[in-house]
Amino acid sequence: MELKDKVAIVTGAARGIGRGIALCLAREGVHIVLADLPAVDADLERTRGETEAEGVQALATHCDVTNAAQVQSMVQAAIERFEHVDILVNNAGVISVAPVVLMTEAQWDLVMGVNVKGAFLCSKAVAPHMMERRSGRIVNVSSIAGLKGNAGLAHYSASKWAVLGFTESLALELAPSNVTVNAVCPGIIDSAMWAEHILPAIAGVQSVSPEEAWQAFVKERIPLGRPQTPEDIGEAVVYLCRADNVTGEALTVSGATELR
C-alpha cells in the first residue's frame, strides 16, 4: 500500500504509543483521526499539532472505545471529514496491577473492556467500509504480556492474548475482501502506563525508587539492553500498513524481552 494521502484512525492517540504511531504515519503522508478520552484533551491537542506539523491533516475526536455509539460516531466523523478510512490502529489500552485474589471485578472488566471489546467494536465499525472498498489495514496493539503470563497482570495478559486470537480470526474473515489484520506486541516502553502502574508496584516490592526499578528491569530483562520507544512501535505499524501479503501475524518489538 502506498501510504501518502491515506487516512488512519488511531485510538488512544493522545500520548505514549498512540502518539508515536500517529507521528510515524503522519511522516509517511497519512492523514490522521486521533481518538482519545476528554480527560487527556491537552495531550490530544498537542499530538494533533505535532501531526499537522508533518504536513498532513489531523482530526482530534473524543471516543470511549467501549461504547458502541461513540465508536460509530468516531468512524462517521472520519468518513465525513476524509471520505474514506484506509487504516485502523486499535491502540487504546489500560492496565492495573493486582494479584487475582485481590483483583476486583471492576478492574477485570475495565481492562477486558478497553483492551478487547474496544478492538472488537472499532474493527466491527470500520470493517464494512473497508470490505466495500476492497482495501484496508487493521493493526491491533497487543503486548509481550500477550505471549507470556505475568504475576499481578492476569487480566492484562488475558486481554492481550485475546487480542492476538481476535487478530488471527478477523484476518481470516477479511482476507477475501483484501483487508489485512495484524498485531504488534510492544515490549518495555517508558510510558505513562509503566510510570503510573507497573513501576510503582515493582519499586514497592523491591524497596527501591521507581527510577532504580526501571534501570534494573531494563538491564535484567531486555537482552538488547535498551527500552523500546513509541516510535519503534510506530515504525512497525507503518511496515504492516505497507505490506500487501502479511495478515494474521503478530510482530514483536521488544529487544528480545519475550525470549527471557
The confidence score (pLDDT) of residue 201 equals 83
Distance of CA 144 to the CA centre of its chain: 13
Q: What is the mean pLDDT of residues 228-247?
A: 98
Other residues' Cβ atoms within 10 Å of the Cβ of residue 62: 15
pLDDT at 122: 99
Q: Which residues are catalytic?
A: 156
Looking at the predicted structure, is the pLDDT value of residue 211 above 90?
A: no
pLDDT of residue 146: 96
Domains observed in the chain: 7-187+230-259 (3.40.50.720)
- Cβ–Cβ < 8 Å for 248, 172: yes
Beta strands in the chain (DSSP E): 7-11, 31-36, 58-62, 87-90, 136-141, 179-186, 250-253
Comparing 194 with 152, which gets the higher pLDDT? Answer: 152
Question: Residue 205: its pLDDT value, please?
Answer: 84
The pLDDT confidence band at residue 214, using thresholds 50, 70 and 90, is confident
Least confident of 45-59, 64-78, 185-199: 185-199
110-146: pLDDT as tens digits: 999 999 999 999 999 999 999 999 999 999 999 999 9
**Which cell numbers hold the place of 159?**
486481554
